[in-house]
Amino acid sequence: MSDMKVTISPRTSPDALTPEPNQAPKLKDTTAALPAKKPLGPWALLWKKFSHNPYAMTGLGVMLIFILAAIFAPWLTKYDPAKIDMMFPNLPAGAEGHLLGTDELGRDVFTRLLYSARVSLLIGFSVAFASVVIGSIIGALSGYFGGWIDTVFMRIVDVMNSVPTLFLNILVLAIFGSEIKYMIMILAFTSWMSIARLVRGNFLQLREMQYVEAARAIGVSNTGIIFRHLLRNSTFPIIVNATLMVGAAILSESALSYLGLGIQPPATSWGLMLSNAQEFMLVDKMQAVYPGLCILIVVLAVNFIGDGIRDALDPRQNINKSRGRLAKWRRNFSKSGN
């Protein structure tokens, strides 16, 4: 075997010399030069999992469409939702420039659906927000302090759960009137109990954690521990229940309006449109179909969003996905081996 010649240039380092024929070449480690991948935060991770759920994304898209339609209702239609035109009652869809026709009083149905979305969505989101605030405060105090405070609040929750909600709503609205503010107040007053139980259960687990003991040791007040540490770690379950509560509030408002105890003219809501359409079902059944479909679609969309958030937060979903990836990898490996 002939001797190998190695040429050394002025810029060549000893490490870069050509190796001997029987010596394996040294590979340069380039992994250290790769930038470290920044881990995703909790909200970014939640969105990543949520966005891979087609049902949840469909529900989110539908809700955005309804919200934007409610906000820009004056620009989407030229008609007044309360204007009566007895020259064109019960027109079919598309007649005389009315996209979905008119009702028994000549009012444009499409316009009334848009403005009804404003009222129904406003009540749904307001009731959910108020219920979350009330339930979170009561559940936090009950779960953190325990003792007689927990006993008193939980007995109040038991009493509220034992009262028929529909009967209480009808009674209060019959006494105080059917204004939107009263409807939001009474629906929130009868909807906060599930949030309170949820927050209380989380606080009973979290208050014994080491970081809570450390916060007490350094002198953090009870208010700071509750709102800065414990309540923040209970945010995701609260969001799941709040989304589902929006749909429940819309259904409750529609039921009360259908019974004549909800929104009153000249305002309008989907439940009120259903109530007005029941007398003209034989003349034009579509007057009841349109608001009913709106209620159905919005409630389904809200439930899809809530289920998507819950699935994104469920660790069992990650285990199932990991098992699925492992099984797929084994199948591919066995095929390549054969």
Reported as a single tens digit per residue, the pLDDT across 33-43 is 555 567 767 77
Residue 206: per-residue pLDDT: 84
Q: In this model, does residue 9 exceed pLDDT 60? A: no
Which one has a higher pLDDT value, 281 or 150?
A: 150
Segments making up each domain of the chain, as ranges: 66-311
Of 275, 280, 236, nearest to 253 by C-alpha is: 275
pLDDT, residue 79, reads 84
Please state, rounded to an integer, the average pLDDT across all residues of the chain.
80
Decide which of 32 and 209 is more confident.
209
Structure tokens at 337: 């081996």
Q: Which CATH superfamily is domain 66-311 in?
A: MetI-like (1.10.3720.10)
Query: pLDDT confidence of 4, banded at 50, 70, 90?
Result: very low
Q: Which residues contact 91 (CB under 8 A, 6 or more apart)?
A: 98, 101, 102, 106
64 has a pLDDT exceeding 60? yes
pLDDT tens digit sequence for 287-314: 888 899 999 999 999 999 988 888 887 6
- Asked whether the predicted pLDDT for residue 198 surpasses 60, the reply is yes
Measuring CA to CA, which residue among 96, 197, 65 is closest to residue 139? 197
Residue 6 or 92, more confident: 92
For residue 108, the SS3 value is strand
pLDDT tier for residue 286 given thresholds of 50, 70 and 90: confident
Mean pLDDT for 15-30 is 52
Residue 310: name the closest of 241, 253, 256 by CA.
241
**Residues 284/90, Cβ–Cβ less than 8 Å:** yes
Coarse DSSP helix, strand, coil percentages of the chain, rounded to the nearest 5 percent = 70, 0, 30
* pLDDT tier, 1 (very low <50, low <70, confident <90, very high otherwise): very low
Task: Please tell me the predicted confidence (pLDDT) of residue 306.
Answer: 87
**Would you list the DSSP string of 71-86?**
HTHHHH--S-TT---T
Q: Which residue has the tokens 């809200």?
A: 302
pTM above 0.85, yes or no: no
Q: How confident is the model at residue 128 (pLDDT cuts 50, 70, 90)?
A: very high
Structure confidence at residue 214 (pLDDT): 86
Q: Report the 3 state secondary structure along 194-255.
A: HHHHHHHHHHHHHCCCHHHHHHHHCCCCHHHHHHHHHCHHHHHHHHHHHHHHHHHHHHHHHH
